[in-house]
């Protein structure tokens, strides 16, 4: 766990970059620091590995104050990834990644084989190993940056806008790969971004900062979307937060109506009971029976119900057989009841 205890940073010249910050970043989870430009995210991140020294307050990693630790030892346990990867331009990709294992006392051969393994882990094939950073795309360079940060197998990783220098499509791919990697590795990660969508997607916890280095809210993505503490956070997380919050709940508890006719249309099934589509008045089958399983998100079910020609989504089992229908007005009732239940739980 990384703990900020009433941390203040005032830079020479008088501007307060971080103002009485207290928060706990859980072990093995990813915490994303997000907020508008200049609100103290990078300063907070850099105080963890002592690249910036707090004016007052303490930062502890697993209960140990970082200020009392040898800088070199501290940083060996903390991987650091920055925008544009920050690779050594005159070293090959392989040597960029092998540098850290070499510093840690491995032989050249061991270091290179460890580096090769890491490159594979981040999705780069052997052909990239001999290239120089300039011969890679931005997304590939970022992957090398992540591999290099992982090379010392540090329990903690700091990432400063690691995905912002690449285009949205590449970023999407990097997000997916990174989430998969983190699922395996379970590092304690602090990541900075100015992109709230990225924060909501990647963060187990999200810290929203506001101007002046104040922490506006610290919570799970779902908490931010459903219970923003004030107008600033509500505005920052965006207007469609209600709909987006539905991504975090599955359809497991969503009641279904029996399969049958609905709104003058009939759900047509094949011989095995799998939905083929909707048919009106004995006409042709419209092959748009939007189907979901109990593991899918409420957001997906809502979207299916809205886009269905009859306003209903079809739940199927693992075998593809139709189990029941959810009409969009059932969904509205369900969501209203869920909201009331949660409000009651909060006030209890």
Rounded Cα gap, residues 32 and 25, in angstroms:
9
Q: Which is nearer to ligand ATP, 30 or 192 (CB)?
A: 192
Q: Which is nearer to ligand ATP, 15 or 288 (CB)?
A: 15
Q: Which is nearer to ligand ATP, 38 or 309 (CB)?
A: 38
- 340, exposed or middle or buried, with CB in 10 Å at 0-12, 13-18, 19+? exposed
Q: In what order do the strands lie in the sheet with 156-160?
A: 78-82, 156-160, 188-193, 30-34, 205-210, 214-219
Q: Where is 329: in which H helix or E strand?
A: helix 328-347
Question: Which stretches of the chain are assigned E, i.e. beta strand?
Answer: 2-10, 16-25, 30-34, 56-61, 64-65, 78-82, 156-160, 188-193, 205-210, 214-219, 261-262, 265-269, 275-280, 285-286, 291-292, 312-316, 322-327
Closest approach of Cβ 294 to ligand ATP, in Å?
Answer: 40
Q: Which is nearer to ligand ATP, 85 or 251 (CB)?
A: 85
> Which residues, 6+ apart, have CB-to-CB distance to 337 below 8 Å?
none
> Which residues, 6+ apart, have CB-to-CB distance to 17 below 8 Å?
9, 10, 11, 40, 43, 213
Give the tokens for residue 89. Answer: 């331009």
Closest approach of Cβ 238 to ligand ATP, in Å?
Answer: 18
Closest approach of Cβ 94 to ligand ATP, in Å?
Answer: 31
Closest approach of Cβ 273 to ligand ATP, in Å?
Answer: 54
Q: Which is nearer to ligand ATP, 40 or 101 (CB)?
A: 40
Q: Which is nearer to ligand ATP, 175 or 214 (CB)?
A: 214
Q: Which residues bind ligand ATP (CB under 6 A)?
A: 11, 13, 15, 17, 35, 37-43, 194
Closest approach of Cβ 192 to ligand ATP, in Å?
Answer: 6
Closest approach of Cβ 322 to ligand ATP, in Å?
Answer: 49
């Amino acid at each position: 766990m990384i703990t900020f205890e009433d941390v203040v940073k005032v830079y020479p010249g008088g501007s307060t970059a971080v103002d009485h910050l207290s928060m706990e970043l859980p072990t093995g989870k990813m915490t994303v620091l997000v907020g508008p430009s200049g609100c103290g995210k990078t300063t907070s991140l850099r105080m963890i590995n002592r690249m910036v020294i707090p004016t007052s307050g303490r930062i502890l990693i697993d209960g140990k104050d970082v200020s009392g630790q040898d800088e070199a030892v501290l940083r060996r346990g903390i991987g650091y990834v920055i925008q544009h990867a920050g690779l050594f331009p005159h070293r090959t990709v392989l040597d960029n990644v092998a540098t850290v294992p070499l510093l840690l006392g491995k032989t050249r051969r061991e270091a290179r084989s460890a580096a090769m393994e890491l490159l594979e882990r981040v999705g780069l094939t052997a052909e990239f190993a001999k290239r120089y950073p300039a011969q890679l795309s931005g997304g590939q360079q970022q992957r090398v940056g992540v591999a290099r940060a992982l090379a010392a197998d540090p329990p903690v990783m700091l990432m400063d806008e690691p995905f912002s220098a690449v285009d949205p499509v590449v970023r999407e791919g990097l997000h997916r790969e990174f989430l998969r990697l983190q699922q395996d590795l379970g590092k304690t990660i602090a990541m900075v971004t100015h992109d709230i969508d990225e924060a909501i997607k990647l963060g187990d916890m999200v810290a929203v900062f506001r101007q002046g280095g104040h922490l506006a809210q610290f919570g799970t993505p779902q908490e931010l979307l459903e219970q923003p503490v004030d107008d600033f956070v509500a505005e920052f997380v965006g207007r469609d937060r209600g709909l987006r919050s539905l991504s975090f709940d599955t359809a497991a508890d969503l009641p279904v109506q029996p399969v049958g006719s609905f709104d003058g249309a009939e759900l047509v099934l094949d011989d095995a009971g799998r939905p083929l589509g909707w048919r009106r008045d004995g006409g042709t089958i419209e092959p748009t029976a939007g189907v979901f399983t109990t593991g899918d998100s409420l957001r997906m079910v809502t979207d299916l119900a809205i886009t269905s020609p009859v306003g209903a989504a079809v739940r199927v089992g693992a075998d593809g057989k139709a189990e029941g229908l959810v009409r969009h007005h059932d969904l509205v009732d369900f969501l209203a009841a869920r909201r009331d239940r949660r409000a009651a739980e909060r006030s209890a």
